[in-house]
Structure 1
């Protein structure tokens, strides 16, 4: 069976669609039309003391609770697709079961294995996302930043702030409407909204 046939037939079609959706999401994120928190629940604790009691128990057990949902789901989707494609091409032709039965078995086992592989490969990234909320809020507020997304809405936007010493932080931000903020616009961080878990920014008008 050719690679194209594997992509467009059961069971490879399902994870292929999933991976395709995630690729579109990341392309839109790179283009500035979305931010990393645009999909999924907001479970990024942001600090080591954050409450994770509401997260799925399996993901907490796998150590994926401190990573953005978009990264977790992308990692799981990639491994699910890879394992399903390998199994469909190498194992299923030798399994004496109907296609629907062998395909469903492959999807189920591959998904479980994908979560384990995603856990092993993504857990080393957790320190990049675990920051001290209090220190970050106090140090980021009042600083100038650069907008990364094409616009900043009431509950959408990203900005990069220079923290000194070559350190840059990417913040989830929002702004009052209407505004003229767009990609590469200079802005200033005004305050942190704990309910939204976003920073309020405003246009920066140099004196």
Structure 2
């Protein structure tokens, strides 16, 4: 055990031992719920330029530090004690860590989707097709298509005296979150106002 501690606290492993301690403390705090894994765009941008983008920076950096620490331990044990070789082990550990993180980020990417979460407000401004015989201030349904091509039947309402029947095309212009319905106007009415 003493040899392991001496190796972990000797150069070049000590560099990664300190970083590994920081990483372990960070993940303990995350698991306790005091932090999340979000990072700023600058760090993500830097990792993108290094070819390590696509997953949260904290995850990628944790992998780099853990692999570099292990590689530096192995290099220190296998090679004789020499200042030049120690620097070579430090550089080689970083290269190995980058290669491993680059390979692991691809399968990990599916666990960290980057697309924004869908919202009902995404339907505002979209055209829909009325699916009920009428639309009034307290009744109506329509079918609307999302940007990804999926469709949904949504509750719709109108404030005016427009006539809506099954198959009428309408435009969603607002969402009422309290009532969980969309306000609509006839599509031809919205086109007329654009032409003016």
Query: Which structure 2 segments of 5+ residues have no match?
Result: 123-196
Contact map agreement 2:54 2:105 (CA 8 A) in 1: no
Contact map agreement 2:39 2:57 (CA 8 A) in 1: no
Aligned residues: 121
1:128 CA drift (Å): 1.7
Task: Please state whether the residue corresponding to 1:2 is helix, strand or coil.
Answer: helix
Contact map agreement 1:39 1:70 (CA 8 A) in 2: no
TM-score by length of 2: 0.55
1:119 is aligned to 102
Query: More helix per residue: 1 or 2?
Result: 2
Is 2:118 aligned against 1:137? yes
Counterparts in 2 of 1:38-57, with a 5 A limit?
A: 41=42, 43=44, 54-56=45-47
Cα RMSD (Å): 2.5
Counterparts in 2 of 1:10-159, with a 5 A limit?
A: 10-37=11-38, 41=42, 43=44, 54-56=45-47, 58-60=49-51, 64-93=52-81, 98-99=82-83, 101-133=84-116, 136-138=117-119
- Which structure has the larger Rg over C-alpha atoms? 2
Query: Which structure 1 segments of 5+ residues have no match?
Result: 44-53, 142-207
1:120 CA drift (Å): 1.1
Rounded Cα–Cα distance in structure 1 between residues aligned with 2:121 and 2:33:
22
The change in CA–CA distance for 1:139 and 1:69 in structure 2 (over 3 A counts) is: farther
Structure number with higher relative contact order (C-alpha < 8 Å, ≥ 6 residues apart): 1
